Amino acid sequence: MNSPNPPFKALIAAGKLDLPVRMRRNRRADWSRRLVRETALTVNDLIWPVFIIDGVNRREPVASMPGVDRLTIDEAVRAAARAQALGIPALALFPNTDPALRDPQGTQALNPENLVCRALRAIKKEAPEIGIICDVALDPYTSHGHDGVLRGEEIVNDESVAMLVGQSLNQARAGCDVIAPSDMMDGRIGEIRKALDAEDFEHVQIMSYAAKYASAFYGPFRDAVGSGGLLKGDKRTYQMDPHNSDEAMREVAIDIDEGADMVMVKPGMPYLDIVSRVKREFGVPTYAYQVSGEYSMIMAAARNGWIDADNAMIESLVAFKRAGADGVLTYFAPAVAEKLLKTL
């Protein structure tokens, strides 16, 4: 039985309402644009990656990352206090290890007095409410710049996993909140989860770099942690082929099954399709890393006057949220947080 009052959409579809379509009405005023906005970026979406160096009261600029400094531990504590004041939920720590302390096995990763562990304890003492995410991979500690143990020409999987488990426990004992394996060794999430639980670290979360690609966008990061000039060969035998998408879904599924609490896609912007697929297919907390190359391209263009840095950084982060990311690791975090707070 037909309704005596056909619905509005049905009338339009039947061509019985001659109404002009004016999409611009909702864009006319700022208040209206905000009312109809579909995607929101807030301070709660930001994770700030911080590079740590030895020394006292020193900030060392990263030449290939304008505006980013390597920080001594006391400076990192001040950065954590700033992040906490801005409402940024978490920092991600990355050490630049003295070359004299690096070796083929990356044994400095197991040292309870290494840079990350000392920074963890100092930050937790002064800024206890900030979350701390710790990278788990051997490249900041190996003399060859790879994420695992090198035997001949091969990065050996199981021996590397054993080292990564030890590194994870070392960081958990120092107060790490979130273990973030970025190495892409097979089976490491399950082994790390078992080891953490066995030592009563059930509360420590795992954010897996589940889909990490062998990307050309990592160069400035490697400079920042001091591994770029050391790298022998490349990382294509363990990081993902940029051509693949279905393989990323398998990687994510495996890591979730092994106990990952959150997953990450790295790099970010060139892989927004992967971010979207992961969130849509698995529905788990999903993060993206706006990597050093992405950051440096925006900053270089801005410094040449080719783009507006503030608007570009916001627009790039909104793209991650629109794709489905729950949060983003970004070197823009403090600048974006300050800009967002000014708009409140």
Residues serving a catalytic function are: 212, 266
Q: What are the tokens at 323?
A: 């794709």
Give the Cα separation of 328 and 211 in Å (integer). 15
Give the Cα separation of 60 and 71 in Å (integer). 7
H-assigned helices in the chain: 8-13, 30-35, 73-86, 115-126, 157-174, 188-198, 219-225, 246-258, 272-282, 292-303, 309-323, 333-342
- Of the CA atoms within 13 Å of residue 165, those in its CB half-sphere come to 20
Residue 7 in 3-state DSSP? coil
Cβ count within 10 A of residue 110: 15
- List of residues 6+ apart from 187 with CB closer than 8 A: 157, 158, 161, 258
The answer to whether 46 and 328 are in contact (CB under 8 A) is yes
- List of residues 6+ apart from 245 with CB closer than 8 A: 273, 274, 277
Residue 157 in 3-state DSSP? helix
Give the Cα separation of 180 and 14 in Å (integer). 55
Cβ count within 10 A of residue 177: 19
- Of the CA atoms within 13 Å of residue 74, those in its CB half-sphere come to 5
- Per DSSP, 89 falls in state -
Cβ count within 10 A of residue 76: 26
Pairing of strands 178-181, 205-212: parallel
Q: Give the gyration radius of the chain's Cα atoms.
A: 22
- Per DSSP, 26 falls in state G
